[in-house]
Amino acid sequence: MRKMIFIEPKSPNLHIFSKFQIPRLGSFILGTMMKNRGWDVEIQVEELHALSFEDIRKADLVGISTITPTAPRAYAIADRVRSMGIPVIMGGPHVSFLPDEAMEHSDYVVRGEGERPLMSLVDSLESGSSFAGIPNLSFRENGCVVHNPMDGSFQDLDRIPHADFSLLHQGALPSVAGRRIIPVQTSRGCPYNC
């Protein structure tokens, strides 16, 4: 069975997720989709536990999600993972706005929403077919970075699987005042079209 590890890097400074250590849902949704596809999946949230590079070394593919405060750490992790010969996919708001920067540290960048692009990318990786028709994907071809056109947003959230939090490396989600925190998605994105 092939293995994929998703990583949420820790910010070196305080940011919105520092006070309430809530993992972002993107990695869990994508991880659940990969698990449903038959892959062995693990999610490492560095804000909750130190990364296990021993486990990461066993992965066939690594996905790293980043927001701007975590970008320097995400790039350092991506460089280390790629030095192990493991392909890296980066996603999240920061790399969606700066894909050329992210391509200096990764093999693939998924800009915007990742459900369709990730499944199509894995289809192409498994079959050896072209990446040309994969929406939202940035990749290298003949030494040049290619940015495929963006696809519209995912409208029907009911088609997205419920996040499988059992994929979290080293146990349960965090708790506040003795109550476990379970993130819930009710909509997508910023109402101000950020």
Find out whether 113 and 136 touch, Cβ atoms under 8 Å. yes
pLDDT computed for residue 25 by the predictor = 81
Separation between Cα atoms, residue 69 and residue 94, nearest integer Å? 9
Question: Fold for domain 3-110?
Answer: Rossmann fold (3.40.50)
* Tally of helices (H runs) and strands (E runs) in the chain: 7, 9
Residue 159 structure tokens: 């088609």
Separation between Cα atoms, residue 49 and residue 52, nearest integer Å? 9
Residue 134 structure tokens: 């994969």
What pLDDT digit, counting tens, does each position of 124-138 carry?
Answer: 999 999 999 999 999
* Whole-number average pLDDT of the chain: 87
SS (H, E, C) 83-130: HCCCCEEEECHHHHHCHHHHHCCCCEEECCCCHHHHHHHHHHHHHCCC
* Residue matched to tokens 């460089």: 79
What pLDDT digit, counting tens, does each position of 41-75 carry?
Answer: 999 988 888 899 999 999 999 999 999 989 999 99
Q: So where are the chain's domains?
A: 3-110
Give yes or no for residue 78 having a pLDDT over 60.
Answer: yes
- Mapped onto helix, strand or coil, the DSSP state of residue 40 is strand
Neighbouring C-alpha atoms within 13 Å toward the C-beta of 11:
14
What pLDDT digit, counting tens, does each position of 20-45 carry?
Answer: 666 678 898 999 999 999 999 999 98
**Residue with more model confidence, 13 or 33:** 33
Instruction: Give the type of residue at 23.
Output: P
Separation between Cα atoms, residue 145 and residue 81, nearest integer Å? 20
Residue 12 dihedral angles phi and psi, to the nearest 5°: -70, -15
Query: What 8-state DSSP symbol labels residue 47?
Result: T
Q: How far is CA 185 from the centre of its chain?
A: 16
What pLDDT digit, counting tens, does each position of 125-171 carry?
Answer: 999 999 999 999 999 999 999 999 998 776 677 777 887 777 886 66
